[in-house]
Every structure is written in C-alpha cells, then in structure tokens.
Amino acid sequence: MMGGTFDPIHHGHLVAASEVASAFQLDEVVFVPTGQPWQKDRAAVSAAEDRYLMTVIATAENPQFSVSRIDIDREGPTYTVDTLRDLRAQHPEADLFFITGADALAQILSWRNAEELFSLAHFIGCTRPGHTLSDAGLPAGGVSLVEVPALAISSTDCRLRVAKGEPVWYLVPDGVVRYIDKRALYLDAG
C-alpha cells in the first residue's frame, strides 16, 4: 500500500510505486488517499473526494494499481496504524508492504506505536530529491530503503504552479491536469 495526501497525485508517486512493486515483486499496489491528514499544517487540504478521484484517474490504466477508500471513509484523522489494521482485516492472508517517502517514514516510525506498525507490515522508504537516506533517522530492521529515479516533483509545487497559471502537464498524468482544470482546484493555493 502507498498512503499519501495525493493533493494532487503526481508522477513521483507513480514512479515510486512502480519501482517498489518491481523491486519487491509485489502483486499489486493499493493507493490509499488519507482522510484529514493531522500532520499537515496547511489549512486547506482539498476535498477527499477530489483527491480520491484524481488517484483513480492516475492509476486506472495500470492493472497492478488500485485505490482504496479505507481512510477517506473512516471518521476522524488518519493514523497509519488504523490503515494497516483495516487492510490487515480485509486481507488476512496478504504480506503487507507500506510504501512511503523516506522523509515521511522517519516521522511515522518515531510514533508511539512503532512496534505494532512493524508487526503489521514491512516498511519501504523511497528516496526523493532533497532527502538523503543517511538523515532519515530510521531504526534498523523491518525497513527497506529503495532508490527511485529522482523526480523533483511535489504536490506542493504542483499546487503553486496551478495558482500561478504555470503548466503541470507531464508532472501529473494528463487526466489529472484536466480534472484540476475542470474542478478549478488550487487556483488560490499558497
């Protein structure tokens, strides 16, 4: 599974998922857009339904990729441990891998219930531009690190570009560019 705010989903997310799926021979990757992400200090995260639909649009063509509503349909803020417990209940036989950026991983594993998290899934941290593995501060064991091709794309940059009238073509999938336009998202971002 790959969790994220996906506001919007971009090619960095998709390449990371594809690389990890290949490196670990995963059967599938389930993208899980967060509900209300409590760790984002940004006041306005786009509506969950918009983030969910952009994620569906971006992944629709890949038979290995799917999207789960598990976090957006749960009441209250999103905690990784709840996501993993729910996915575990839905797929009791599956080997779960939790894919995330190495930056986000260091935060997640500093939480109180890190021990339980390790019992629920194997954690995979992807490198991304501007974050080196050495300063990720990750505990040993239960975690793998994967170098993904450096794509200096972030959702923050995509939102700011839209607000400034700059293109996001080729940073996000074509269908997502059109969806952002259709729903007039990010016009007052930043």
CA dihedral 45, 46, 48, 51 (to 10 degrees): -110
Q: How far is the CB of 86 from ligand ATP (least distance, A)?
A: 18
156 lies in the site for ligand ATP, by CB under 6 A: yes
Selection from 84, 83, 60, 85 nearest residue 73 by Cα: 83
Q: CA 87: distance to chain centroid?
A: 15
51 lies in the site for ligand ATP, by CB under 6 A: no
Q: How far is the CB of 92 from ligand ATP (least distance, A)?
A: 26
Q: Give the range of 64-72, 85-93, 100-108, 165-173 binding ligand ATP by CB under 6 A.
A: 100-108
DSSP class per residue in 109-130: TTSTTHHHHHHH-EEEEEPBTT
With residue 145 as reference, give the H or E element that holds it: strand 143-146
Based on CB atoms, which residue is closest to ligand ATP, 12 or 35? 12
26 lies in the site for ligand ATP, by CB under 6 A: no
126 lies in the site for ligand ATP, by CB under 6 A: yes
**Cβ–Cβ under 8 Å, residues 69 and 90:** no
Based on CB atoms, which residue is closest to ligand ATP, 7 or 50? 7
Contact residues for ligand ATP (CB under 6 A)? 4-7, 12-13, 16, 100-101, 103-104, 126, 128, 148, 151, 153-156
